[in-house]
Amino acid sequence: MTATAHAPTPTHPGTPVLHPHGLPRPGQTLVMGVVNVTPDSFSDGGLSFAADAAVAHGLALLEQGADIVDVGGESTRPGAARPPIEEELRRVLPVVRELAATGAIVSVDTMRAEVAARALEAGARMVNDVSGGLADPAMLPLMARAGTPYVVMHWRGHSAGMQANALYDEIVSDVLDELRSRIEAALEAGVPPGCLIVDPGLGFAKAPEHNWELLGRLGEVSALGRPVLVGASRKSFLGRLLADRATGQPRPARQRDAATAAVSVLAAAQGVWCLRVHDVVSTLDAVRVTARWGVEAASARSPLR
């Protein structure tokens, strides 16, 4: 294993092996709560679009136990149009500033270097870039200078046309190769190795079967030697799995939290570093159950038992 991040020896199945510099190390998978400051979020329809509503939502997620809150001002649902940079700044900066002022660990979800820079100045402590540095050539140099945790996600284009790029020879191998390329680009730009986090990009230029295969092989994503962030929450592949048997209509987004929690158990059991979710309570419960099960599983295998 390369010395790219804090790397304790796992004590039981499901213990995250890698931790980014400067972020919590609670001994179990972290939970990142989503704060969408957009008018067209697929998951909530814009309920937190106003800054005061977004701040209140972020505070509620923290009260529920979120380790990190992720503030984003650009919808990345399939087909979404990009807002002007001025609008994205207007949406996210007040929310980042208010939440960071409480001492919370705030992540900014953006593909734009200027938004990332301004959010870091406002108190954000990490950047979650769904493009992995591909959308803005200024992003990797910025992260090299900032030296803060940086999420590199697998990405094949902006939301308006990304699903046309869901073509793979072998989904897991292709995603891993493309993530390796982005890791190398980040390192060459000077991003500190211990700051890099990877995300397989569930739902981004992925068909439902691609998402399921990636979830079943998260251990191979972890083998890249970086902490792994997983964002499956309320996504359409869960809605399709849970479609109404009579009509075939997918389960609505806000009714997918139980399925999200089930995915959280499976991902946490594979030792992912963090889960990005809309419903913190059910996911935190799932993580705690997984951690406790891991202790018992390790004990059962112990020769001293």
Catalytic residues: 235, 276
Report residue 99 as tokens. 């939440």
Where do the H-state alpha helices sit in the chain?
51-63, 85-101, 113-121, 139-146, 171-189, 208-216, 218-222, 236-241, 257-269, 280-301
Q: CA separation (Å) from 133 to 152, 191, 202?
A: 7, 11, 17
Degrees (nearest 5) of the Cα angle 299, 301, 302? 65
**Residue entry with tokens 């390369």:** 2
Q: Are 263 and 232 in contact (CB under 8 A)?
A: yes
Indicate if the alpha-carbon torsion angle 79, 58, 27, 290 is positive or negative.
negative
Using alpha carbons only, how large is the chain's radius of gyration in Å? 18
Residue 33's DSSP bridge partners are: 69, 277
Tokens 């995603």, residue located? 175
CA distance 186 to 114: 17
